[in-house]
Amino acid sequence: YSSGKPAIGVGAGNTPALIDETADIRMAVNSILMSKTFDNGVVCASEQAVIVHKSIYDMVKAEFLERGARILNEEEKDKLRKVIIDPKRGTINPAIVGQKAEKIAEISGFSVPAGTKVLIGEVDEIEAGEPFAHEKLSPCLAMYACKDFDEGLEMARRLVELGGFGHTSVLYTDLKNQERINRYGIAVKTGRVLVNMPSSQGAIG
C-alpha cells in the first residue's frame, strides 16, 4: 500500500474492518454483508474496506462468494473505478449512492447475477488516486490483504486518515486478543471501535 501523504477531505468518513487470522471467518463475513447491504450501504458507518490476514484471505474470499458477493475481475474493477468518484465534484458519485449492486454494475457497464449483494474490488493502494480506498455509500467494498496484524492495523489507520478522522472502525479477532483490541483502538483514530459486529448496526444501534 502507499505511504504517501493522503488527501484529507475527499470523503466524509472511511470505515475499515480488519479480519485477523484468529477471527471467526463465517461470522465476520456474515456481519460485513449484513452491514453493507443494510439500506444498500448508504449508512456512513458501513464498512468501506475490509483488510484480511493473508493466511485466511482465500477462505474469506470463498465465504464472500458463498454468501452472494461478487469478486470483480480486472475489467469490471476498472469500470467500477470510473464511476465511484464524480470527477467534477471530487466526491462520491451520487448516481451510485444507496443503489443495489446490480444497478451499480449496470451504470458501470457490466452485469452481475440477480441478487448479487456486494461488489468487491481487490486492491493494494491506500491513496487518493484509488477510488476503492474512499467512502462509497453503496454496496461496493474494497478488499486488501495484509501480511500480519501490525500491517493490517497500519492499513486501517491509513484508510481512516484518508477519509477523515473520527468515524467508525471494526476489528474481527478472537476476544482473548485483548492486547490487539487495545492497540487497534489506540492507533485507529475513530470515535467508535467495534469488535466482532456489523458496523452499520453497531454504530447506529
Assign 21 to helix, strand or coil: coil
Q: How big is the chain, counted in residues?
A: 205
Catalytic member of 10, 43, 44, 105: 44
CA distance 149 to 19: 9
CA distance 125 to 204: 29
CB 96 within 8 A of CB 107: yes
CA angle 199, 201, 202 (to 5 degrees): 60
Q: Which three cell numbers, joined as nine digits, stand for 7?
A: 488527501
Assign 121 to helix, strand or coil: strand
Q: Is 44 in the active site?
A: yes
Catalytic residue numbers, as ranges? 44
